[in-house]
């Protein structure tokens, strides 16, 4: 037979359990945010490195190469000035301090936004490759801009292909992070809500 002291302990445990579960969910979500920022910072360093390499080689190639290769390097250099800006901005955003007032809802919203953005970017990357195919076909019949069109087309193939791989890899890395931190937190929160519902009955 359970004595009064043990009943109080059990009742206290039942009442505190939802709070413990909620705290664990918050901890998991904060870990999700920390890991997300780390993944993004690494990704921005990779993008910045790619951009720097293309700007340097593209600038050198533009002045030293000829025919379509000259325009290939020109487009690479110009394209990656934009990539460099994105990389710098993204890196600064990812390495900045986490706002003290950030909520669990903010963390989940930001995760979902970034995942949707990666998928949108992947669609744009495919469009770049398709545009490259179009320019390549145009170059076959163009008399005045054959080399320019072919060079730009080849650059779109390379840049679009890199960005497509980059965005998809980032998407799946963040998804793996969510499987470790987000999905368990959602399960914990669900259990907490169910526990609160049982207690209120």
C-alpha span between 79 and 113 (Å, rounded): 25
Q: Where are the alpha helices (DSSP H) in 65-95?
A: 67-95
The conformation of residue 143, written as its DSSP 8-state character, comes to S
Domain count, the chain: 1
Q: Is residue 7 domain-resident? A: no
C-alpha span between 148 and 80 (Å, rounded): 18
C-alpha span between 136 and 140 (Å, rounded): 7
- Note the pTM of the prediction, 2 decimals: 0.80
Residue 100 vs residue 111, higher pLDDT:
111
Residue 5 vs residue 119, higher pLDDT:
119
C-alpha span between 15 and 91 (Å, rounded): 43
Is pLDDT of 185 > 70?
no
pLDDT over 90, % of the chain: 62
Of 85, 48, 43, nearest in space to 171 by CA: 43
Q: Is residue 14 domain-resident? A: no
Is pLDDT of 39 > 60?
yes
Residues ≥6 apart with Cβ < 8 Å to 54? 76, 77, 79, 80, 83, 159
C-alpha span between 133 and 147 (Å, rounded): 14
Residue 131 vs residue 193, higher pLDDT:
131
Is pLDDT of 35 > 50?
yes
Average predicted confidence (pLDDT) for the chain: 84
Q: What does the block give as tokens for 73?
A: 């390097």
Q: Is residue 160 domain-resident? A: yes
Q: Is residue 5 domain-resident? A: no
Residue ranges making up the domain that contains 190: 21-200
Confidence of residue 10 (pLDDT cuts 50, 70, 90): very low
Confidence of residue 143 (pLDDT cuts 50, 70, 90): confident
Is pLDDT of 83 > 70?
yes
Confidence of residue 103 (pLDDT cuts 50, 70, 90): confident
Is pLDDT of 20 > 80?
no
**Predicted local distance difference test score (pLDDT) of residue 184:** 72
C-alpha span between 65 and 70 (Å, rounded): 5
Q: Is residue 4 domain-resident? A: no
Q: Is residue 15 domain-resident? A: no
**Predicted local distance difference test score (pLDDT) of residue 97:** 85
137-146 long-range contacts, CB within 8 A, separation 24+: 139/68, 146/68
- State the burial class of residue 32 (Cβ atoms within 10 Å of its Cβ: 0-12, 13-18, 19+): buried
Residue 98 vs residue 158, higher pLDDT:
158
Is pLDDT of 196 > 60?
no
**Predicted local distance difference test score (pLDDT) of residue 26:** 73
Q: Is residue 32 domain-resident? A: yes
Is pLDDT of 100 > 90?
no
How many other C-beta atoms lie within 10 A of the C-beta of residue 46?
14
C-alpha span between 90 and 45 (Å, rounded): 9
pLDDT in tens, 131-142: 999 999 999 998
């Amino acid at each position: 037979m359970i004595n009064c002291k043990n009943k109080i302990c059990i009742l206290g445990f039942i009442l505190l359990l939802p709070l413990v579960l909620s705290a664990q969910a918050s901890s998991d979500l904060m870990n999700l945010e920390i890991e997300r920022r780390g993944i993004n910072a690494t990704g921005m360093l990779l993008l910045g490195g790619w951009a720097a390499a293309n700007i340097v080689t593209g600038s050198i190639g533009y002045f030293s190469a000829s025919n379509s290769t000259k325009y290939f390097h020109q487009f690479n250099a110009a394209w990656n000035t934009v990539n460099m800006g994105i990389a710098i901005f993204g890196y600064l955003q990812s390495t900045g301090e986490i706002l003290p007032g950030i909520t669990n809802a903010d963390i989940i919203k930001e995760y979902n936004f970034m995942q949707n953005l990666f998928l949108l970017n992947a669609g744009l990357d495919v469009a770049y490759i398709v545009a490259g195919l179009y320019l390549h076909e145009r170059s076959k019949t163009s008399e005045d801009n054959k080399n320019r069109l072919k060079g730009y087309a080849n650059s779109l193939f390379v840049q679009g292909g890199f960005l497509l791989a980059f965005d998809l890899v980032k998407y799946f890395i963040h998804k793996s992070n969510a499987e470790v931190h987000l999905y368990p937190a959602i399960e914990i929160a669900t259990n907490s809500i169910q526990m609160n519902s049982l207690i209120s009955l």
